[in-house]
Amino acid sequence: MSASLGRSPIRAIRETRRTKQLTQRKLSLAIGLQQASISRIENGKKEVRLWDLRRIAKALGVSLGDVVDD
**Domain range spanning residue 55?**
9-63
Report residue 66: phi and psi, to 5°: -75, -20
Inside any domain, residue 2: no
The answer to whether the CB of 36 falls within 8 A of the CB of 7 is: no
pLDDT computed for residue 7 by the predictor: 62
Tell me: the pLDDT tens digits for 19-44? 999 999 999 999 999 999 999 999 98
Contacts of 40 (CB under 8 A, 6+ apart): 46
Inside any domain, residue 37: yes
CA distance 48 to 40: 9
Tell me: the pLDDT tens digits for 51-67? 999 999 999 999 998 88
- Closest by CA to 56, choosing from 20, 4, 5, is 20
Q: Report the CATH number at residue 21.
A: 1.10.260.40
